Structure 1
Amino acid sequence: MTLSLNQMEEARRAIDAPLFADLAGDAAVSFEFFPPKTAKMEETLWEAVQTLAPLAPRFVSVTYGAGGSTRERTHATVARIARETSIPAAAHLTCVDASRDEILDVARAYWEAGVRHIVALRGDSPQAGTRFQARPDGFANAASLVGGLKAVAPFEISVAAYPECHPDSPDVTADLDNLKAKIDAGANRAITQFFFSPEAFFRFRDAAAAAGISAEIVPGILPVSNVAQTRKFAGMCGASIPAWMDRLFEGLDDHPAARQLVAATIAAEMCRRLYAGDVRHFHFYTLNRAELSYAICHLLGKRPVETLKEEAA
């Protein structure tokens, strides 16, 4: 990656000064949740939404289970966020195990509920270990889904990107071609799958620009507190977990508070290095917990909007 003079100065300051000293607070953030299965999980989710809302996120998104298995719960969660908060809510939609008409009916229902932002994904096969198979009457891939959504309504659309290449892609070039097809079909931005090396993101950002992709690419950040769970996620999306990170969590199985501190430290340091490389937008995979994401946002200079208003007064 070639750094501008401003970026070099920022990188030098990040090295010479305390890592998070006096950041401008100019980073924009968004958060991802998954639909709750029980009343208790819904309470936990809503506590997370309310905790993170004062940081004025650009949007929050709600995931969609394989084969539409969470369709009703996703819709209910997104609709409640849209109805009860001022946060723009984005709903995930996939191509898995549904016809074009069924998917577009869901999209119309979102539009009628006031949802204007869709995260459009191909999705994974409901059967673990098998490759995605498009239905004959379904959307073949995310690019065709984006085109179908744009024909329904002028949705804002985010799509997925893979800094370390999607496991189903034959190579990096094909992966970038697929991303460009999604952007050309009408997507507004790409949100990356998680990664644990800032260099992986910078290389990907440069490669995307060289491939003619000019849309915003937002890094997806997963604060890790459960390495086994993260390893499972990583296997599904092509992310690599460095050996040093595994070693940092060794011996912490019975120390959840220490795990949280280690997780926050690792993710915050990576975000700081991304910030030094001129990244100003971050998307956090919260796993329906606010604490880690909130702490990292705070370190990046984000403050509750109410606090800022009070200080200005």
Structure 2
Amino acid sequence: MKNQSPLVISFEFYPPKSREGAVNLQQSALALDAMTPDFFSVTFGAGGSTREGTIDIVKTLQEKTRTAVAPHISCIGFNREGLVSVLRQYKSLGVKRIVALRGDLPSGMGSIGEFKYASELVKLIREETGDYFHIEVAAYPEYHPQAKHALSDVLNLKRKIEAGANGAITQYFFNPDAYFYFLEECAREQIFIPIVPGIMPIMHFSKLMRFSETCGAEIPRWLYKRLEAYGDDVESIRQYGIEVVHHLCQRLIVGGAPGLHFYTLNHAELSLQILQQLDINSMRMNEKVYEAIKN
């Protein structure tokens, strides 16, 4: 099924820890800005540990690029007053899109705060700001590591939608069937909001394995064995990774995915190469023409 709406393309950044990292982030954002994405998202550390850094990056991206910025907000470790304060800051900056997450409790922090679930955060945002924000939430085609069972994960997404979420971004995956089966499960539960697949360019084998173990993303055996065989040959890993992720994106778009959300790790090169191979700008332009004719 071909998607008949313009593809939503977005890129995720995280607050850097050094001046060099900040310079690299700016350079990456400027390069990706040329692709006219729909938005940049900026992560929010566990328990709000990068709160000020997230806000600073939001301001920088607003100043340096033409792209809308969607900061992440997580509720674990926060009380209502603290979350309302963050929302007010973003309203004052003209932010119109939020990525609302449960988040993780930092090591050493004893209390999870007033909120346990992302659905509670979405409800708070709607209570405090009405329809001002477009709210994205998380979805897990291969299921959250803490989910009791597959259906509970889908029902958690449904609760977030009932609380007021507009769309969802998935955890990354490399098996497109996992995404399409997940959409079928969502449809059975009357979930029809846009669910944009998260895409992880492959830069380093060891880092990919570490990230995947933490978040529960599966590395298919065929991919694991090929990456393992390259050993320390970083360039071969990247080139093979571009090929794999390019084909993944093709499958998703042809299958009707509403967009692509790239986890950049603050680097533009691989995301750019994948999108250029897809000829994404021509693809989006054709879809915008289709929408104009249809309307």
Is TM (by shorter chain) over 0.5?
Answer: yes
Does the 8 Å CA contact 1:27/1:300 hold for their aligned counterparts?
A: no
Aligned to 1:134: 112
SS at match of 2:185: helix
In the alignment, is the contact (CA less than 8 A) between 2:75 and 2:103 conserved in 1?
yes
Paired residues for 1:146-165 under 5 Å: 146-153=122-129, 154-165=132-143
| Equivalent residue pairs, number | 283
Q: 1:121 to 1:133 in 2, by over 3 A?
A: farther
Structure 2 counterpart SS, 1:248: helix
Cα displacement string for residues 129-175 of structure 1 (whole angstroms, at most 9, x for unaligned residues): x9x9632xx22210010111122222111000000111111111111
* d(CA) in 2 for partners of 1:143, 1:44: 34
1:167 maps to: 145
User: Deviation per CA, 1:35-79, whole angstroms, max 9, x where unpaired?
Assistant: 111110011101110001011111110001112111111000012
The corresponding residue for 1:301 is 279
Secondary structure of residue in 2 paired with 1:250: helix
- Provide the TM-score with structure 2 as the length reference: 0.89
The answer to whether the aligner puts 1:46 opposite 2:22 as a matched pair is no
TM-score by length of 1: 0.84
**Cα offsets for 1:5-42 (capped at 9, x unmatched):** x69xxxxxxxxxxxxxxxx9x64310000011111001
Q: CA RMSD in A?
A: 2.4
Structure 1: segments with no counterpart, 5+ residues: 8-23, 309-313
Percent of aligned pairs with the same amino acid: 39
Which residue is 1:204 aligned to?
A: 182
Unaligned runs of 5+ in 2: 287-295
Say whether residues 1:176 and 2:173 are aligned partners: no
1:255 is aligned to 2:233: yes
Instruction: Tell me the equivalent position of 1:64.
Output: 44
- Measured in 2, the distance between the counterparts of 1:266 and 1:142 equals 32
- Asked whether the 8 Å contact 1:108–1:152 carries over to 2, the reply is no
1:285 paired with 2:263, answer yes
Contact 1:91/1:119, CA 8 A, preserved across alignment: yes
State the shift of 1:247 in Å: 1.5
CA contact under 8 A between 1:82 and 1:114: conserved in structure 2?
A: no
Deviation at 1:251, TM superposition (A): 4.2
How many angstroms apart in 1 are the aligned matches of 2:216 and 2:281? Answer: 33
- SS for the counterpart of 1:212 is coil
Deviates more, 1:225-234 or 1:45-54: 225-234
- Residue in 1 that maps onto 2:165: 187
